Homo-oligomer: A and B are copies of this chain.
Amino acid sequence: MSMGDKGRTVHIGVIGLGGRGCGQMTTLLQMPDVSVDMVCDVYQDRVEKGIGLVKKHAGNDAVGTTDYRDILKNPEIEAVCVFTSWETHIPIVIEALRAGKRPCMEVGGATSVRECWDMVRASEETGIPVMLLENCCYNLEELTLLRMVREGLFGTIVHCQGAYAHDLRDEVGEGDINRHYRQRHFLNRNAELYPTHELGPIAKVLNLNRGNRMVSLSSFASKACGLHEWLQEHRPDSPLANAEVKEGDIVTTVITCAGGETIVLQHDCTLPRAYSRRGEIRGTKGAWQEDGRFIFIEGRSPVNPDYWTHEWESDKKYIEEYEHPLWKEYKEFGLRGGHGGMDYLVLRAFIESVQKGEQPPIDVYDAASWMAVTALSEESIANGGAPVAVPDFTSGRWLQERTDKATGMYALD
């Protein structure tokens, strides 16, 4: 990726204009080589809002529709961005592929392993790539840590952890259940609902689908008390006040990899706490923990001379020293878009991969396997924590050590 390079204009349709969809579209509208020609949402009020945003930021009159098939039928549209509710991402992506469009989609979990396979087959059969917009893969710390891993600071990596630890009781307990994409999942499912913010960066560290892969998964849910107690106290008159919540407050998932590494994920959204993705990288030469911003690098970090024990350092000077070149360039270019700038980078990676006709850095196999974690964890929890096999969506291509070099995202030199 090169900052500020303007390629040929990519004509896109935006599907899904909730809060996130409008935010992402606004970031896209800042790119001079992107033209948002059509906008879609099932709610007409959102369509009007989307048309207004396009007019305001880009000046053109986008065509609005409440049926995304109108976008897929339009021969002028090359790419579609799917920002809809979680459970509709994959079905719309598959339809887009079959219609010859190049799709990207926001993050979320899958409802079945089958739909992940269907997406992989649709992409393979049409020859059209899919990109999952996992913005956290592009965050400063995650990219910089990836560089440190690639440069060997952590030695052999043996274990990674992460979480989506975000107290969402207020958001999930609010508003119209029919329009609230997250709420209906919390009320009706018990699973690792939202794995990719932490699993995405871990997947890059562990070379998943590129020389390594997830082999088995086990998942465990605590009881669900947090949202229910909160609703009874804070929303006593809500129709949800006495609703039974299915999603356990803490859902812990353990994944084993072909390379012998383990991964622990947690979904943690209905108890009080501070936000964290709770990243951890553990290797034979170093350790990093997001909570506390702790790092220890053997041979560099100070060791207590009294007895043989280590002390953490702050990771700040390492993040500065090993700052990923993409972020150096990005800071000179000027950060833009949501979530500290990472949204712009992931969207830009999509647009550039479309312009160049290349595979995106987070491809259909990544999307399928990362999103499948939700369906697999649901299965494991339903079976009392029984391990479930993670399918090899690459059909053996992971053995060929596929690389990310094509896009430059992880080309560090």
Contacts and interface: CB of A to CB of B under 8 A. Distances in A.
A287 B269 CA distance: 13
Given A271-B283, A294-B291, A385 B222 contact: no
Interface in A237-290: 248-250, 252, 254, 256, 259-262, 264, 268, 271-275, 282-287, 289
A310 B310 CA distance: 31
Contact of A218 (B170, B225, B385): B385
A185 to B, nearest CB: 19
A158 B226 contact: yes
A298 interface: yes
Contacts of A254: 218, 220, 252, 254, 385
A274 B159 contact: no
A261 B222 contact: yes
Q: Which of A167, A252, A289, A294 has the most CB of B within 10 A?
A: A252
A412 interface: no
A256 B220 contact: yes
A69 to B, nearest CB: 36
A245 to B, nearest CB: 12
A158 B249 contact: yes
Interface in A387-409: 387
A155 B230 CA distance: 11
Contacts of A287: 271-273
What is the count of identical protomers in the complex?
2
A289 B310 CA distance: 20
B218 A220 contact: yes
B222 A262 contact: yes
A222 B158 CA distance: 6
B285 A272 contact: yes
A309 interface: yes
A286 B262 contact: no
Contacts of A252: 254, 262, 264
19 contacts: A155-B225, A155-B229, A156-B225, A158-B222, A158-B225, A158-B226, A218-B220, A218-B254, A222-B262, A226-B284, A252-B262, A264-B264, A271-B284, A272-B298, A272-B310, A274-B294, A274-B309, A291-B291, A386-B386
Interface of A: 155-156, 158-159, 167, 170-171, 216, 218, 220-223, 225-226, 229-230, 248-250, 252, 254, 256, 259-262, 264, 268, 271-275, 282-287, 289, 291-292, 294, 296, 298, 308-312, 384-387
Given A274-B294, A274-B296, 4 more contacts: A216-B385, A264-B264, A272-B296, A273-B296
Question: Which 6 pairs, one residue from A and one from B, show the smallest C-beta to C-beta distance?
Answer: A223-B260, A292-B292, A159-B250, A222-B262, A273-B287, A385-B387
